[in-house]
Structure 1
Amino acid sequence: MPTHSDMTTATTARGTTPGPAPEETGVLDSLQHQVAVFARRAEQTRLGGVGQARNSMDRAAYLLLNRLDQEGEMGVKKLALSMGIDSSTVTRQVAPLVDTGMVKRTSHPEDGRAVVLQLSPRGKARLEEVRSSRRELMAIATEDWTADERDQFCTLLTRFNAALSVIHGAPQLATPS
């Protein structure tokens, strides 16, 4: 059960009152519980999809490859900034992707000391394999939902993630197209 110090200040039409209104407490308790359950399920399955691709790519690798696919080649610092993590973390997480040939590391054309990271054809193919498997998992998990319910859930989850990014001062992660 969240304590008063766990709650953020509510800034709604009722003014700036610490904590939620009494009528909101139940739904906020339920929401935080469901988010905790979701986090556990996501970690248990790593949302790795179905079939052979299940659990075959960790979250960090997926997010890095996806970012390079969405935004194109970039330096370590820019990639770190866009993901809200520090450069040393990106360097550490990219190393196995370079070793397995999924990311190419080259010198910056204007500054030979700087490194540019680029998704390789092998990385692109592997990313699409994992995306396809995860897409299938999402289809199965929401098979009894209408298209509108899926769209609404995606919109609300995107909004929720954006709000958490703002609260924690992290950049918002790009949504795959």
Structure 2
Amino acid sequence: MKAAEGPDETVVTTAVTTGAAAGAAVETIQREMTAFARRARASAGRMHPELSLVSYTLLGHLEESGGCRATDLAAHYALDKSTVSRQVAVLERAGLIERRLDPDDHRVQVLRLTEAGTRILAQVTVSRRIAFRERLADWPAEDLERFAAYLVRYNTASGDSEESVGTASEN
């Protein structure tokens, strides 16, 4: 004789099924975000041979912020200061950024884009936008809006490090 399934058993069965599905979804998300990061790093070299994905990201932040200290970059991207120092040195040698004294505190150096840095960043940004538009060309507008909202939601969620997805720690 089989016992009747009670409400508690249904809840447990549903929770286990939902938990397994969520776990599989998280695994898929992790795998796909890693593939995305690898593809982004690889395509960065095609966009501009001397501009890594991290360099592009740092230049973008400097443009957006109007300039900042290297320690601010490290804090913003949860990167080690030595990683930022290496990237800043590469960008300086390439003539894409320069150091200027902070007008409010002459003990502090602020990193700013040079004209060449602004020009290269604009070129790479245009190329990246074209690549994204081509890849997403056949997506319905509703899917694009939902995807954009999910990415914003994911990126604004609290987290200790961007390194967990493999993008921020690359040199």
TM-score w.r.t. length of structure 2? 0.73
Q: Does 1:74 align with 2:68?
A: yes
5+ long unaligned stretches in structure 1: 1-13, 15-19, 171-177
Q: What is the CA RMSD across the aligned residues, in angstroms?
A: 2.7
Identical-residue share of aligned pairs (%)? 27
- Between the aligned partners of 2:75 and 2:114, the Cα distance in structure 1 is 21
Partner in structure 1 of residue 159 of structure 2? 167
How far the C-alpha of 1:86 sits from its partner, in A, is 3.1
Total equivalences in the alignment: 149
The one of 124, 133, 143 equivalent to 2:118 is 124
Q: Spell out the pairing of 1:42-81 with structure 2 (5 A cutoff).
A: 42-46=37-41, 48=43, 53=47, 57-81=51-75
3-state DSSP of counterpart to 2:60: helix
Mark the structure with the bigger radius of gyration: 2
3-state DSSP of counterpart to 1:116: strand
How far the C-alpha of 1:49 sits from its partner, in A, is 6.6
Q: List structure 1 runs of 4+ shifted beyond 4 angstroms.
A: none
Q: Does 1:29 align with 2:21?
A: no
3-state DSSP of counterpart to 2:148: helix
Q: Please give the per-residue CA displacement for 1:55-99, whole angstroms capped at 9, x wherever unaligned.
A: 663121011001001111111222222222233321111111111
Which amino acid is the alignment partner of residue 156 of structure 1? Y
Which amino acid is the alignment partner of residue 25 of structure 2? S
Which amino acid is the alignment partner of residue 23 of structure 1? T
The one of 151, 158, 171 equivalent to 1:157 is 151
How far the C-alpha of 1:21 sits from its partner, in A, is 4.6
User: Are the aligned partners of 1:46 and 1:58 in contact in 2 as well (CA < 8 Å)?
Assistant: yes
